[in-house]
Amino acid sequence: MNEYPLWRYLLVLAVVTIGVLYALPNLYGDDPALQISARRSETVDQALADKVDAALKAANVASRRTEVQQKRVLLRFDSLDTRAKAREVVEKTLGENFITALNMAPATPEWLKKIGAKPMYMGLDLRGGVHFLMQVDMDAVRTQTDERFVSELRSHFRDEKIRYRSIAREPTGGVKVEYQNVEMKQKGDAILAKDFADLQRQDLAEPSEVLLTVSPKLTNETRKTAIKQNLTTLRNRVNEFGVAEPVIQQQGEGRIVVQLPGVEDTAEAKKILGATATLEFRMVDTTNSPEQAAQTGRVPVNSKLLYDKQGRPVLVEKKIMLTGEYIIDASSGIEQSSGGPAVFITLDGKGSRLFSRATREQIGKPMAVVYIEQRKGRPVEEVINVATIRDELSKRFQISGLDSTDEAHTLALLLRAGALAAPIEIVEERTVGPSLGQDNIDKGFMSAVIGLAAVVVFTVLYYKAFGIIASIALSMNVVLLVALLSMLQATLTLPGIAGIVLTVGMAIDANVLINERIREELRSGNTPQASIHAGYDKAFATILDANVTHMIAALVLFLFGTGPVKGFAVTLTLGILTSAFTAITGTRAIVNLVYGRRRLKAVSV
């Protein structure tokens, strides 16, 4: 009556074995590590690792092991203090061309790594991690809005045959329009009232001049849109990077908080988030000498002095033809004509029209592609390509002149993830130390152990032999839950630990129902074998109902909760599944092995 076919015993054994193997990595902990990666196109290889090792040895800083991994060098240390000293030495040795970041590297043995066993990610409150506070440049939002209206007004007036002397942005804000005469001003005012309702007019002292300012309503909408787009862009970048459960949220009116707990590649995250990935297309100033401007420091009024990757000066016009705002797709590949790396860019409809109009008038002239990123709180502008415009450029075009396919891939990733509506800079960057996190881990672990021990003691004292069986299943339940979290690479936070503790308390409910049902059957005069069989069968419906209602509650928490609440819901859901398996199938397998095929006069329950 109380027997399982062989395949069921093998199934339970296989599940438990797999659970133990995939839960094991969590016992080995992490090593304090230092991670080195290239900022753009520099080479990361064994030579770089040897250079770092030599610098550390000269500074009497001992590292446990140096690993050359894909596109990064990882150094492991025995203590946090040693790692901190090593970081100073490495940053001084390598300079700004490399990113040096703190990390905690799993100490999982190689034989477990080969089967894909990894420890759980720890949340920022447990393991520590990277915290960024980013400032959105709201002044730049206003400037970009004014410059956009300058371009649109020039185009519209040209189409409507409205003659003007100049249309330019005022340094204090707004757009100043100087018409050829009063008659043109009247026609222009009529067009402004009809087609540019978001611009407010203010007559100036000169009868033919007018100052246009963006309405407060549009200004607020533009700023909100800029924040929203930047949030979306950062989320897209983090998603492409593959960070588990990041925190990306607005703080105040113009700041964004980014927390990356449990990341493996902190350096790459800094590179992806720290770079603004802003592209600007500007015409090259061919009437003046860039070398002379660089030597004398005298830059023409309408030009800007920049440098290319080789450090050569390039004079570009201040007027921006197009920005990365209009880019909707970017992919890396190989240019057919030269065989070199390239990035293929696709613009949206508006960007296509603007670029088409801008390049149509500049055929035969050189155009510069300017790449801008933030480094240590300051914008770094670099001319990555200068090419002669051979034809009118429109919706799809390419950027060449990149150093490597890796550089092309990184640039395409940043642009594909979305353009920033406004520049951002990292005003605060910190790595949350693991000391507080370790304290939280210790307390959380202790609470789980105490909870498990209390449940086991009560169960064994109250249900005797069946209590021991239930306790074994309860222990296996915790192991399977940890294994599932590890296999899914979930991020464990303090609420997640609370979910584990709650699971321990809830998991015993099913065995309590089963054991009480067995007692009732024995009191009714049934044989021990029949009582065991009836206990499991009759309690199943009640256990199923309880687990379904718990699952519904967990699903609601996951759907409507945010951040830590979702983490709690995930842990609770997995705990429900593992407890149902261990409490019913697991304990039944043990009971059948112990009591099956035996003539029993009594059972210890």
| Residue 119 counted as domain residue | no
Give the separation between CA 12 and CA 566, rounded to whole angstroms: 30
Choose the final residue of a domain: 430, 461, 480. 430
CATH assignment at residue 404:
3.30.1360.200
| Range among 111-115, 278-282, 488-492 with highest mean pLDDT value | 111-115
Predicted confidence band of residue 60 (pLDDT cuts 50, 70, 90): very high
- Both 193 and 302 in one domain: the answer is no
Q: Which among 146, 420, 114 is positioned nearest to 275, based on CA atoms? A: 420
The tokens describing 515, both together, are: 């054991």
- Does residue 106 register a pLDDT over 90? no
Q: Does residue 448 come out as left (phi exceeding 0), alpha (psi in the -120 to 50 range) or beta?
A: alpha
- Both 213 and 189 in one domain: the answer is yes
Question: What's the pLDDT tens digit per position in 500-558?
Answer: 888 887 788 888 888 888 888 888 888 888 888 888 888 888 888 888 988 898 889 88
Sign of the C-alpha dihedral, residues 212, 217, 218, 220?
positive
What is the domain count for the chain?
4
- Both 465 and 409 in one domain: the answer is no
Pairwise pLDDT comparison (466 vs 379), residue with the higher score: 466
- Both 308 and 331 in one domain: the answer is yes
| Residue 399 counted as domain residue | yes
Choose the final residue of a domain: 430, 451, 481. 430
- Both 186 and 97 in one domain: the answer is no
Give the separation between CA 158 and CA 535, rounded to whole angstroms: 88
Give the separation between CA 482 and CA 476, rounded to whole angstroms: 10
- Both 254 and 161 in one domain: the answer is no
CATH assignment at residue 87:
3.30.70.260
Mean pLDDT, range 55-65, rounded to an integer: 90
CATH assignment at residue 183:
3.30.70
> For a pLDDT cut of 70, what percent of the chain falls above it?
89
CATH assignment at residue 545:
1.20.1640.10
| Residue 180 counted as domain residue | yes
Question: What's the pLDDT tens digit per position in 67-105?
Answer: 888 778 889 998 888 988 998 899 889 877 787 777 778
Question: What's the pLDDT tens digit per position in 576-597?
Answer: 999 889 888 888 898 888 887 7
Give the separation between CA 169 and CA 123, rounded to whole angstroms: 47
- Both 394 and 482 in one domain: the answer is no
Predicted confidence band of residue 187 (pLDDT cuts 50, 70, 90): confident
- Both 275 and 377 in one domain: the answer is yes
Predicted confidence band of residue 420 (pLDDT cuts 50, 70, 90): low
- Both 439 and 422 in one domain: the answer is no
Mean pLDDT, range 20-43, rounded to an integer: 82
Residues spanned by the domain of 163: 139-218
